[in-house]
Amino acid sequence: MIYLDNAATTFPKPETVYKTMDDTNRNAAINAGRGAYRLAREASKLIFDTKNMIRKLIHADSSAAVVFTPSITIALNEIINGIEWNKGDCVYVSPYDHNAVARTLHLAEQKQGIKVYLLPIDTDTYEIDIEKTKYEFSRNKPRAVFCTHVSNVTGYILPVIELFEEAKKYDAITVLDSAQSLGLVEIDSKQMKADIIAFAGHKSLYGPFGIGGFVNVGNIILGVSIVGGTGSDSLNLNMPEGNESKYESASMNIVAISGLYAALQSLNQKEIYEREKLLTRYLVNKLESVKGLKLFVPTNPDKHIGIVSFTINNMNSEDVGIILDEEFDIAVRTGYHCAPYIHEFLGDCTFNGTVRVSLGINNDYADIDRLAEALNEVLV
């Protein structure tokens, strides 16, 4: 199989991830923070060391709270539901954001009366319009700004540094969804002025499912939305006041954390970025030569990495995906990619969304050549 669905989850993982998880599962899959014995202490140290590696990756201070959750979706729920909203608060979100943000904010809009606004985009380039954003912020002052770093639909690298700089002029809370970027695109949390960075272990970090989280760089005060056992202060019915343990109820997935640790140890972000940029450019060039395709990619290649969406004249995107799978053993994603806003701008609803190709460290030029050949056969 030629696997081209790495935006959903990178696959396969580095061999060290599998070996480490297997070893942990067999020899150290115990409950961290719930015992004084050696293995429990070693598990706690593994969690501590993995969090430090996440801090280092985003250039955060050692004091920045790193909270582990079972997924980035749960992390974003904890963030959004943890912010103390006031009725009428203006919250901005990019049109490229995932339902992990969009649906959670929509629920807060229904329950707490916040007002959710889309960041304006240029309808010719599909890029965020910074000048119009400045104007919108001046009209409706932002209480918080949520933004994905890399679109999981088009591979567009959003101008988060400029966006968050404008947001900070109004003391807004800035939240970055780094699901598609952390481990691939350089993130400097201080330069970016991101208060909170949510991350997924199983995507561009090349770790396993079952581990995600957020880094509270700006020390934003968050209320508690998920409660339960933490292994500490157990007679207290309130959650402990620690800036990490307060948000980490339930047993930690030490097996997944060990996999993430192994992935971070083997990660070479700069090398992956440079290689994926070359493959992305090659992919775009090859698909541009296929007649009948309409590509949805940024016009500026410097603002694009890893992901390409397209439609084919008169074909349902799902049908294209099925043909590529059954006749050519090529795995792509089809549909709306859990990103509800952007498809109105792309105008792809008559095709039931787009066909999405997303690259990873295991892909090469031959994979792209085979995809282009298959698409040409589909269209004959």
pLDDT for position 35:
77
352: domain CATH number is 3.90.1150.10
- Whether 181 and 278 share a structural domain: no
Q: Return the C-alpha torsion angle 23, 26, 31, 35, nearest 10.
A: -100
Clarify whether residues 165 and 153 are in a common domain.
yes
Is residue 256 domain-shared with residue 300, that is, in the same domain? no
Q: CB–CB of 7/360 below 8 Å?
A: no
Neighbours of 24 (CB within 10 A): 21
Both 257 and 307 in one domain: the answer is no
Bridge-based pairing of strands 2-3 and 354-358 is unpaired
Cα–Cα separations (whole angstroms), residue 19 to 23, 259, 261: 6, 9, 12
Same domain, 240 and 275: no
Cβ-in-10-Å burial (0-12, 13-18, 19+) of 101 comes to buried
pLDDT for the residue 330: 98
Burial 197-225 (b: 16+ CB within 10 A, else e): bbbbbbbbbbbbebbbbbbbbbebebeee
Low-confidence ranges of the chain (pLDDT < 50): none
CATH code at position 23: 3.40.640.10
Instruction: Identify the pLDDT of residue 111.
Output: 96
Residues 181 and 280 in one domain: no
Q: What range does the domain containing 277 cover?
A: 2-10+268-379
Shared domain for 228 and 371, answered yes or no, is: no
**Which pLDDT value is given to residue 380?**
67
Which residue among 266, 296, 329 closes a domain?
266
- The strand order across the sheet containing 212-216 reads 65-69, 212-216, 196-200, 173-177, 142-148, 90-93, 115-118
Question: Domain boundary residue among 216, 236, 266?
Answer: 266
Alpha-carbon span 232 to 246, nearest angstrom: 10
User: Do 228 and 331 sit in the same domain of this protein?
Assistant: no
Residue 253's pLDDT is: 97
- Backbone angle region of 45, left / alpha / beta, with phi > 0 → left and psi within -120 to 50 → alpha: alpha
Please, are residues 181 and 150 in contact by the beta-carbon 8 Å criterion? Answer: yes
User: Which of 239, 266, 293 is the last residue in one of the domains?
Assistant: 266
The pTM of the full predicted model, rounded to 2 decimals, is 0.96
- Indicate the number of domains in the chain: 2
In this predicted structure, what is the pLDDT of residue 231? Answer: 82
